[in-house]
Amino acid sequence: MKFERFENTQEALKKSIDMELPSENLFLIDALGRILATDIVAKQNNPMFETASMDGYAIRAEDQGLGELKIIDFLPAGSYKGNLVTKGVCVKTFTGSLMSEGSDTLIPIENVEVVGDKIKIVTPVAKGFSSRPIGENYKEGEALIKKGTKVGYAQIGVLAELGYVQIPVFVKPRISVIATGSEILDFGEAQENISQIRSSNHITIEAILKKAGADAIRYGIVKDDKEEIKEKISQALRSSDIVVTTGGVSVGDYDFVKDILGDMEPEYIVNGSFIKPGRHIKIVKIGHKYIFALPGFPYSSSVGTFLYVLPLLRALSGRDFKIPTIKAYIDEGYKKRSKYKEFTACNLFFKDGKVVVNLDGKKTGSSAILNNMLDDAALLCIDEETKELKKGDLVEAILLG
């Protein structure tokens, strides 16, 4: 098998995407955490008129030199009286009230002394003080929220200001997760012999996908039986947009998944990647649906999900395909362990004003050590050409949050 460079596999996957997920309309608060399916553009200025940002008196700034101004009316927030501020007069105004026509400044109540129906200017203010200009929040035609944005509290608030009751969001992609292997046990299964282990990769992948906003379906464990695996994959493909399998992609006698994929005559997107862990990964496409065949070790399958499945999910919902990375300084020396591009679990933190990574507490060994992903781990990326890193070298790390 010829393993393609990681960058080539990423480009191949990106180029294979020829559609976006459909959208659905949700009531505003129900869209929290979902991905916006359209650009949001302001249809009018906000505020539409000059308004007061505190309690005080609407005046003409130049009239402060008169010393006293006559109060001709008061204007509570939410009311409109059509008052006109001319020379020598003012209107008592409250936070959120419209600034009366002719006024250009709001002088706060603590800056004046009320004497009968007049105010005495105690502390003058600059022209325009506490008067919110038209369009201070946003102007008509201004792009406020981009398609592909995850809807959070701020987006909810702005959309409410804009008058939205419902908004279009991308439908959650439906993803089936299938773990294969006669040696692994599902939840609640009794151990029959000491060679059996409890599966964690399928539930870990389900958790990663659900956190990423997918509708993940755990199909459970399928033993090393070619026909049973084939039927389970076919069943999952009928009811899902994406199928993710773990195990059965290497070169062993019981690695059936690779043969099953070949029998389905799919379009091969990735057929091996020059990476560690996960070099035997396969990604195929049948129609508009994808199958990701990941290795069986928990760490390998988790890394494969972050490197390949999540970029696809982002692109399908109008977001950037690119894997989120950050530059950091490595806080220790590191000798590369293979000839492949490596993705090693690391700690990411701030130190002396810099972003730093180290491998404290991260164990070396096989790709089965899932506990290396604990404590908000990131992935240290080390190119195939690199043999060794020295303390203080600038490196790249993948953010997994």
Res 225: pLDDT: 85
CATH number for the segment(s) 6-21+172-316: 3.40.980.10
Q: Are the CB atoms for 246 and 179 separated by under 8 Å?
A: yes
| Whether 306 contacts 208, CB under 8 Å | yes
Domain boundaries, the chain: 6-21+172-316, 23-44+139-170, 51-132, 325-398
The amino acid that residue 322 corresponds to is K
Fold of 23-44+139-170: Molybdopterin biosynthesis moea protein, domain 2 (3.90.105)
What is the C-alpha to C-alpha distance for residues 56 and 142, in angstroms, rounded to an integer?
A: 31
What confidence score (pLDDT) does residue 23 get? 97
Comparing CA positions, the residue from 116, 89, 118 lying closest to residue 103 is: 89
Burial of 371 (0-12, 13-18, 19+ CB in 10 A): middle
Q: Report whether 176 contacts 217 (CB < 8 A).
A: yes
* Peptide bond preceding 47 in cis form (omega within 30 of 0): yes
Class of domain 51-132: mainly beta
Rounded CA separation 33/29 (Å): 9
Instruction: List % helix, strand, coil for the chain (3-state, nearest 5).
Output: 20, 35, 45
Query: How many residues are listed for the chain in this entry?
Result: 401
Per-residue pLDDT tens digits of the chain, which is 401 residues long: 578 999 999 999 999 999 999 999 999 999 999 999 999 999 999 999 999 999 999 999 999 999 999 999 999 999 999 999 999 999 999 999 999 999 999 999 999 999 999 999 999 999 999 999 999 999 999 999 999 999 999 999 999 999 999 999 999 999 999 988 877 777 777 788 887 777 788 899 999 999 999 999 998 888 888 898 899 999 999 999 999 999 876 655 546 788 888 889 899 999 999 999 999 999 999 999 999 999 988 999 999 999 999 999 999 999 999 999 999 999 999 999 899 999 999 999 999 999 999 999 999 988 889 999 999 999 999 999 999 999 999 999 999 97
Which residue reads 């990681």 in tokens? 6
pTM: 0.87
Closest C-alpha to 315, from 137, 170, 144, 102:
170
What distance in Å separates the CA atoms of residue 135 and residue 144, rounded to the nearest whole number?
13
pLDDT of residue 256: 78
Question: What is d(CA 304, CA 278) in angstroms, rounded to the nearest whole number?
Answer: 6
Please state, in angstroms and rounded to a whole number, the distance separating the CA atoms of residues 25 and 35.
Answer: 11
What integer pLDDT is reported at residue 1 of this predicted model? 58
The CATH code of domain 325-398 reads 2.40.340.10
